[in-house]
Amino acid sequence: MADMQSTAAAAPAIIRRSDYRPPDWLVPDITLDFDLDPAATRIRGMLAVRRNGDHDRPLRLDGDRLVPLEVKVDGQLLDTGQWSMEAGALLIPLTGESHSIETLVEIAPEGNSKLMGLYASGGLLCTQCEAEGFRRITFFPDRPDVLSRYSVRMAADKARYPILLANGDPVDQGDLPDGRHWARWNDPFPKPCYLFALVAGDLACNADRFVTMSGREVKLGIWVKEADLPRTAHAMQALKNSMAWDERVYGREYDLDVFNIVAVADFNFGAMENKGLNIFNSRYILADPETATDIDYDGVEGVVAHEYFHNWSGNRVTCRDWFQLSLKEGFTVFRDQSFSADMGSHAVKRIEDVRILRAAQFQEDSGPLAHPIRPESYMEISNFYTATIYNKGAEVIRMMALMLGPERFRKGTDLYFERHDGQAATCEDFVQAMEEGGEIDLGQFRLWYEQAGTPRVRASLSHDPATGIAELALEQAVPATPGQPDKQPMAIPLRVALFDRASGTHHGDELLMLTEASERFSFKGFTDAPVLSINRGFSAPVIVETNHDQADLAFLSAHDDDPFARYEAMQQLMVNVLIGKIGGHAVDEAAVIAAVRHTVTDPALDPAFIAETIRLPSEAYLGDQMRVVDPDAIHAARDGLQQRIGAELEPLWRDIHAKTKANGFSLSSTAKGARKLRNTALHYLVASGVVDGPAVAYAQFDEADNMTERQAALATLANGTSAEREAALDIFYNRYRDDALTLDKWFQTQAFAFYPETVDLVEELGRHRDFTMTNPNRVRSLYGAFAGNQWAFHHKSGKGYRLVADCIIALDKLNPQTAARLVPPLGRWRRFDDMRGAMMRAELQHILAEPGLSKDVTEQASKSLE
C-alpha cells in the first residue's frame, strides 16, 4: 500500500466526468460529537447508512490522514481485521441494507496549515470543507450527492471558546466539569458534507433580525472579535438587502430561524456558504472608512450576497458531482452581479465585471489551463475554482437570461428550484429547466458547457448607397484548447445597433443570434453608411474584431447610448493607438486626448462611468492583443500616452481634483463616483510630470478621511521615485502595522507599483518581519499582486519568475491550495519571447523537481508545461 501511495504522488489519478456512478451507500442521518481542543480534538461520528441499489460492495468512507481509533457497526466494536484502509479511506464489508456505523478519530487543528478541515485561526477553531475537507475531520462518503441530516454536539473549554456555533438551529447547551461546556445544533435540511461547519471561539456578535416575505423572523448574527464589531455594519446591511432582493427577484425565502456569519483571518478563498453558518475571510466582512476602500466595500456587499444566494443556488439545490461546480457557482455569480448592479450602477458594474472577466478568464481560456465551464477531468478539484467556472459560468447564465427575457427566465428558474429542491443536480438539469420553463430550444447553446476557449467574432459592416442596405457580415471561430483541437460554431447572442452618423442616434437595438461559422444580416433604410455598435452590454463573452476606423470609435465613444459599448469604443480607440505605437507606426494620440476631453467634460455622464472610461487599458490587456507580449514596450507606450493625456489636459485634472473634494464621508453612489473620478484626475496629474504632482498626491494622502483616497494617493506615489513616495509608505506602515487587512494594502501597493525596482523590493518584502506564509491574504498581497504586475514580474532578468517559483515551493509545504493559485502566471510562457519563455519553463520544471510536491501544484505546473 505504501508503494501505491508513492506512485500516486508521482502521477496523481485523473478523475473523469464520464466515470460518474451513483453512491453505493447513502447516509440519511449523521450525529457528530466533537471534543474540541487545538492540540487534540476527538470526533465521534455516528452514521445511519443505507445500501443504495442492488450491489455487494463494501461501505467506503473517505478519510484524509485519519486513523480509526474505534470502528463500530450496530453498536459492536470491530476488530482491526474487520475493516481495512485503502488510500486513506475506511472500508467496511456489510451484509444487510441498513446499519449504524460509529468511528472515533483524533486530529490536531493547530497543526493544520492547509486550512482545510478543522483548523485554528487567530484563537478560533473553524472548518472549511468544500471541496474535500470533511474527510480530514471524520470518515464519510465525501461527495456532494450524499445528503444527510446533521446533529452536532461540541464540547470545549468555556473560557477560551465561549461561543460554539454549527449549521442549522441551536437546540441545547450546558456546562461540564473542568471549565468546559457544550452545545448541540441541528440542521433539519439534508445537505452534502462540504456544507458542514462549526466554529468555536471568543466572538462578539452584531445581532439583527429579518422578517421574511411569509412573516417569519430570522435572527441574524455576524460574529467577529470584539474589537472588530464596529466594522460589521456594512456586511449586515448587505445581508439584509440580499435577503430582500432574493425574495423580490427570484421569489426565494430564507428557510432556517438563524443565519450566522463568522469572520476569520486565515482563509484560502473569499468565503464559504455553509448552511446557516457562512464562514468568511475577514476581508469580505470588515469595513470602515478609515481602513476600507470603496472597492473593499463593494467586495463585502458582493461576497455577502454571493454566499447568501448560495442558500438556494448551491445548498437547497446542490451539485451532483464536482464537474457540475458551475451549476452553483456560475449561477450564483450571475445572481450576485445582478444584485450589486441593482444596489449601485448597472453600467459601472457591467464594465467592472467585464474587466475582471477579460483579465482573469480570457487569459485562462487562451492558455494551457483552459477548460470548459463543465470540465471533463481533473486531478485536484481545488484547482477548478477558476475564473472560467465562476465568471464565464456567470456569462453563460447571463446569455440565457438575455435570450429569454426577464419573465421567461424567471419561469425557468422557478421550475429549476421547484423541480430540484433537496436534490444534487447537474448543469443539464438547469438547461432543461430553462428550456421548458422559458420555452426555448437550447440545443446548440449547450456547447457553451462543452467547448473551452474564447470565441472570436469578426464583424464587418458594408453599405450600398444605391439600395440603402447595410449588410453585416459575421464570422466566428473558437480557438483550439488543450484536448479540444476542433470546435463547432457556437450560438452567440449579439446585441447590435446601427447609428446614424449625422444625428448620433440609432434605429433600435436588436438581438442577433449568430449560430453559423459565417452569416450575413441585412438592414434596410440607410441613405448614409451607418456606424455599427456590436456586443452591446457585452451580450456574449467573446472577442469581437470590427472594421471600425478611429473616427468610428471616436463617434461611438461620444454617442453610443449603451454605456458598455461607449466604454468599449473608448478602450478600443486607446488600444489601437497603443498597439500602433508599440509596433512603431505613426499614430494619432490627439484623437485619444480629444475623446478623453469630450468624455470628461460631458455633463450628462456619471462621474464613476467617466472614471472607468478614461482609464487606459491595463498592460496585461494590451499584452493580450499582441502575438508576442513585449512587457517593456507596452509599459513605455502606455506610460508615454498617460503622460501626454496628463500634460495636455492638466488644467482639467487640477480642476476636477479640486472640485470633487468632499465635505465629510458618505457611501452614496454620488460620493463614491466623485472619489473615483478624483483619484483618476490625481493619477493623470501626477503622470503628467508637473513638478508639484507628488506634493498634491501627498497632500491627498495626508488629508484623506477615507481609505479610498489615501490608498489611491499612495499607489500614485508608489509608481514614482519622489521623496514623497518613501514618506507616505513609512507613514502608512506605522499607522496600520497592527491591522492585518490594512497592512496587506501596504504590501500589495508596492508589489503592484510601476516602479523600476519593484522586483528587488518584492524580494525584500518577502523577508519583512510582517510577511508570513501562513496567512493567505498576506501571500496574495505580495506574490499574487506581483505576479499580476506584468512589467515587474516579466523583468528581463527572470528574477520575478524565480521569486514566485520559490514562493510556490515554500508555500506548497504549508498550504498547497494557495500555492497552486500562484502557478498560472508562470504557465503563460508561450505568450512571451523565447528568452522569457525559456526562463518561465525552467521555473516550472524547477517546481516539478521538488520532492513531495502536492497534487495541487503538480497538476497546475505539469499542465502548464504541456
Tell me whether residue 302 or residue 631 sits nearer to ligand 0A1 (CB atom). 302
Task: Indicate whether 609 belongs to the interface with ligand 0A1 (CB under 6 A).
Answer: no
Polymer length of the chain: 866
- Select from 154, 263, 272, 844 the one that contacts ligand 0A1 (CB under 6 A): 272
DSSP conformation letters of 579-631? HHHHTT----HHHHHHHHHHHHT-TTS-HHHHHHHHSPPPHHHHHHTSSSB-H
Q: What does the DSSP 8-state code read for residue 379?
A: S
Contact region with ligand 0A1 (CB under 6 A), list: 44-52, 265-273, 761-769, 803-811: 265-273
Q: Report what 130 binds from ligand 0A1, Zn ion, none; CB cut-off 5-8 Å by kind.
A: ligand 0A1
Q: Report what 385 binds from ligand 0A1, Zn ion, none; CB cut-off 5-8 Å by kind.
A: ligand 0A1
Edge to edge, the sheet with strand 76-77 lists 76-77, 70-73, 98-107, 41-51, 25-35, 148-157, 180-191, 169-175
DSSP conformation letters of 55-93? --PPEEEB-SS---SEEEETTEEPPGGG-EEETTEEEE-
Tell me whether residue 161 or residue 390 sits nearer to Zn ion (CB atom). 390
Tell me whether residue 329 or residue 624 sits nearer to Zn ion (CB atom). 329
Tell me whether residue 277 or residue 751 sits nearer to Zn ion (CB atom). 277
Task: Indicate whether 716 belongs to the interface with ligand 0A1 (CB under 6 A).
Answer: no
Task: Indicate whether 859 belongs to the interface with ligand 0A1 (CB under 6 A).
Answer: no
- CB under 8 Å to 815, separation ≥6 — which residues? 113, 114, 115, 268, 773, 774, 776
Interface of this chain with Zn ion, residues 328 to 367, rule: CB under 5 A? 329, 332
- Select from 83, 185, 196, 269 the one that contacts ligand 0A1 (CB under 6 A): 269
Interface of this chain with ligand 0A1, residues 324 to 343, rule: CB under 6 A? 329
Tell me whether residue 117 or residue 766 sits nearer to ligand 0A1 (CB atom). 117
Q: How far is the CB of 329 from Zn ion (least distance, A)?
A: 5
The site that binds ligand 0A1 (CB under 6 A) totals a number of residues, namely 12
- Say whether 221 sits in a helix, a strand or coil: strand
Q: How far is the CB of 328 from ligand 0A1 (least distance, A)?
A: 7
Tell me whether residue 126 or residue 457 sits nearer to ligand 0A1 (CB atom). 126
**Alpha carbon separation from 820 to 162, 378, 418, 763, 800 (Å, rounded):** 36, 14, 38, 20, 17
Contact region with Zn ion (CB under 5 A), list: 326-334, 443-451, 496-504, 598-606: 326-334
Q: How far is the CB of 269 from ligand 0A1 (least distance, A)?
A: 4
For residues 317 and 344, the answer to whether their CB atoms sit within 8 Å is no
DSSP conformation letters of 819-839? HHTTSTTGGGGGGB-HHHHHH
Residue among 88, 98, 100, 99 at smallest CA distance from 139: 88
What value, to the nearest 5°, has the Cα angle with vertex 232 and ends 228 and 236?
A: 160
Tell me whether residue 66 or residue 271 sits nearer to ligand 0A1 (CB atom). 271
Amino acid letter, 33: D
**Alpha carbon separation from 74 to 49, 53, 79, 101, 105 (Å, rounded):** 10, 21, 14, 6, 18
For residues 493 and 449, the answer to whether their CB atoms sit within 8 Å is no
Set 307, 352, 843, 859: catalytic member = 307
Amino acid letter, 497: A
x-or-dash string of contact with Zn ion, 284-323, rule CB under 5 A: ----------------------------------------
Task: Compute CA 645 distance to the chain's CA centroid, rounded to the nearest angstrom.
Answer: 33
Q: How far is the CB of 205 from ligand 0A1 (least distance, A)?
A: 22
Task: Indicate whether 232 belongs to the interface with ligand 0A1 (CB under 6 A).
Answer: no
For residues 455 and 434, the answer to whether their CB atoms sit within 8 Å is no
Distance in Å from the first CA to the final CA of the chain:
30
- Select from 297, 323, 385, 832 the one that contacts ligand 0A1 (CB under 6 A): 385
H or E, element range at 655: helix 650-659
Work out the number of other CB atoms within 10 angstroms of the CB of residue 100: 14
Q: How far is the CB of 664 from ligand 0A1 (least distance, A)?
A: 35
Q: Is 97 a catalytic residue?
A: no
- Select from 130, 132, 301, 744 the one that contacts ligand 0A1 (CB under 6 A): 130
- Select from 31, 112, 121, 128 the one that contacts ligand 0A1 (CB under 6 A): 128
Per CB under 6 A, residues contacting ligand 0A1 are 128, 130, 268-273, 306-307, 329, 385
**Catalytic residue IDs:** 307
Residues within the interface to Zn ion (CB under 5 A): 329, 332
